[in-house]
Amino acid sequence: MSASSNPVAVNTPPEGKPLVTPRQLTLACVVLLALAWGFLPEFTVSVLANIGLYALVAAGLVMLTGVGGMTSFGQAAFVGMGAYATAWICTSPVAAGWLGAAASPALLPWAGLLLGLVFTFALAWMLGAVTLKLQGHYLPLCTIAWGLSLYYLLGNMDFLGGQTGITGVPPLVIAGVSLATPRMLGVVIWAVLLLALWALHNLLDSREGRAIRALKGGRLMAESMGVDTARHRIKLFVLAALLAAVSGWLYAHMQRFVNPTPFNLNIGIELLFMAVVGGAGHLWGAVLGATLITLLKEKLQDLLPALLGTSGNFEVIVFGLLMLFVLQRFSDGLWPTVARLARRWVRAVPKPAGAGPVVSTQAQLAQRTLPATGTLLLQADTVSKRFGGLVANNEISMTLKAGEIHALIGPNGAGKSTFFNMISGVDDPSSGEVRLVGEAMSGKPSRAFAARGLGRTFQHVRLLGQRSVLENVALGAHLRARRGWLAAALRLDRPEEAALMAEARKQIERCGLGAHADTPAASLSLGQQRVVEIARALAGQPSVLLLDEPAAGLRHLEKRALSVLLSQLRAEGLGILVVEHDMEFVMNLADRITVLEFGTVIATGTPAEVQANPRVLEAYLGGADDELLEDAR
């Protein structure tokens, strides 16, 4: 996320008119596939149907692992859930007894789909709630554990046929047409896959999608913007599991029998290969990965035993080596490379600057009425924070009123950032209390602070570097909009999305970054990235603004512009608490100053009072000279 790495500039394609847009190319490929479908050889069709089934699961994994940062080796077990649910409903006399008159043969597979989805939903939600709290390598290890457990469970339940499985699964019948062959069912498989890709693409391109993208590496930041990241992680996990279950349902009706073997850990690992090799965070990478691995597996299963003289699953070893190689050379999977090579001919036509999606009716975002000037917004009462033996904050008391700028200064390590974390809910005080607009906030998460009108920036910039400035800022307005995952996936959120984009653009322009709205955040200078953080905080329409070293890295004129902006916000009635090292900036701007040293407040008052305080001069400047006064001139 450093300012020097500029992925966009490096990847900029050679100039020239693209022959087709990605959308046209996608459409052309789909039409070509549809036209060829009836003429392709049986074997090819069956391979393509399998690729479609794998790609559906891999697309879920791209969302979960590539976008959301959660690795799962256990996805094959959810495919098994979907397959077994429908196989059982369609063949078991018990199920027929349950369903009674509703058990007409044509309806049974749909009952199976419903059962599979409900069952997978419940199980995934439960597993997710328990295991997604785990950090680091524990989560992948845990997915291996339950992947294995579910596999053995399937093989050991007598009513599911044990290791032999269930035979006699009927074909799917849609509108009176029996889809008994891969050629028939393959059409449905690919239709479902394309529909899923479309919906997932929509989801990523929405308010909830921005929250999902923040799950990987940006959770602390997203929580401060009001996102319930733990819940989003579980929902993403459930979504990936449901896609796997749908794939399993289709699989059962294609094979017409199920047994535990296709749902073992090996397949779980292969599915993860597909997602990662194809393109970690890119949906079409799932299709690419599924195609490559499926074709490669076919070849290797013929080739390797002949080569080695014995039979066995040797292809797994080759896949492992392949994954190592791909991740070494193409850390983001193969899709970005393919897309870059294709960019000579295929390129999105850039949107004219300033034009968002054209939507006739723009929804209203939630508006907050700011408290009247002088209202007590933030109140810290003897707040202490101890890290083991170190007292980072020692009984700090301070207040912030609407319509004032309060500066918190002190040498490095004085405890300023720690205090910011206390009063923004990122961390809990060891003792003492924080009140926000009258409400005691003890034990509440930072998203509750955001909901009550607190906006903040971070000393160490926390942006989604690959996403545009616009998207980053829009994340700040997360709590002002409502539409959820389903609305986003079906593109019913467009008026609200337009309102969010308009709000984000307004704040970006207000902060003087209008020209950079559509560039990736990481390509801005560090100083500008700090300003993006301010715009993001403002998009939430806060009444309290916490700024941790906002002027660091800004040039002189930029600092002056920031100063003007903050004065303007104060005049509008915001309460602003700012940590800053630039004394000229602080002394000219702040109404009140609190000075910290070794975690303790040593002075508080107007800039003039603080500058005249001998204790401050001594502590802050080591009593060397009156540089503090010099700076202010």
* Contact footprint for ligand ADP (CB under 6 A): 387, 390, 392, 410, 412-418
From the list ligand ADP, Mg ion, none, partner contacted by residue 325 (C-beta under 5 to 8 A by kind): none
Indicate the residue whose CB is closest to Mg ion: 417
Amino acid at 313: N
Nearer to Mg ion, 416 or 559 (CB): 416
Regarding 459 and contact with Mg ion (CB under 5 A), the answer is yes
**Contacted by 484, from ligand ADP, Mg ion, none: CB < 5 to 8 Å by type:** none
The residues facing 576 across adjacent strands are: 405, 545
Mapped onto helix, strand or coil, the DSSP state of residue 77 is helix
228/582 with CB nearer ligand ADP: 582
Q: Judged by CB under 5 A, does residue 418 bind Mg ion?
A: no
Give the shortest CB-112-to-Mg ion separation in angstroms. Answer: 57
Phi-psi region of 258 (alpha: psi -120 to 50; beta: other; left: phi over 0): beta
Shortest reach from residue 549's CB to ligand ADP, in Å: 8
Binding mask 31-60 for Mg ion (x = CB under 5 A): ------------------------------
Using the contact rule CB under 5 A, the part of the chain among 82-90, 283-291, 452-460, 463-471 near Mg ion is 452-460
For residues 118 to 157, the per-residue mask of contacts with Mg ion, x marking binding by CB under 5 A and - elsewhere, is: ----------------------------------------
Give me the least distance between CB of 464 and ligand ADP, in Å please. Answer: 23
Amino acid at 523: S
Total residues contacting Mg ion by CB under 5 A comes to 3
Per-residue CA distances from 406 to 161, 255, 421, 516 (Å): 71, 69, 16, 30
Rounded to whole angstroms, the Cα distance separating 21 from 19 reads 7
CB under 5 to 8 A by kind: which of ligand ADP, Mg ion, none does 414 bind?
ligand ADP
Question: 38 or 389: whose CB is closer to ligand ADP?
Answer: 389
Locus of tokens 């590496």: 217
Strands (E), 389-430: 390-401, 405-409
Sort 228 into a burial class: Cβ within 10 Å, 0-12 / 13-18 / 19+. Answer: middle
CB of 541: closest distance to ligand ADP in angstroms?
Answer: 27
Total number of residues shown for the chain: 633
The span from the CA of 576 to the CA of 378, in Å, is 10
Pick the stretch among 172-180, 197-205, 453-461, 538-546 that binds Mg ion (CB under 5 A).
453-461
Strand 405-409's sheet: what is its strand order? Answer: 454-456, 544-548, 575-579, 405-409, 592-597, 600-605
273/449 with CB nearer ligand ADP? 449
Q: Please state, in angstroms and as integers, the Cα–Cα distance from residue 542 to each residue in 425, 437, 453, 461, 627, following that order.
A: 15, 12, 5, 19, 35
Q: Indicate the residue among 409 and 522 with the shorter CB distance to Mg ion.
A: 409
* Of 253, 271, 300, 317, nearest in space to 106 by CA: 253
Q: Angle at which helices 108-131 and 75-91 pack, to 10 degrees?
A: 150
Shortest approach of ligand ADP to residue 585 CB, angstroms? 17
> Does 417 participate in binding Mg ion (rule CB under 5 A)?
yes
26 binds, among ligand ADP, Mg ion, none (CB under 5 to 8 A by kind): none
Non-local CB neighbours of 91 within 8 Å, separated by 6+ positions: 166, 167, 168, 169
Q: Cβ of residue 415: shortest distance to Mg ion, in angstroms?
A: 8
Instruction: Tell me which residues touch Mg ion (CB under 5 A).
Output: 416-417, 459
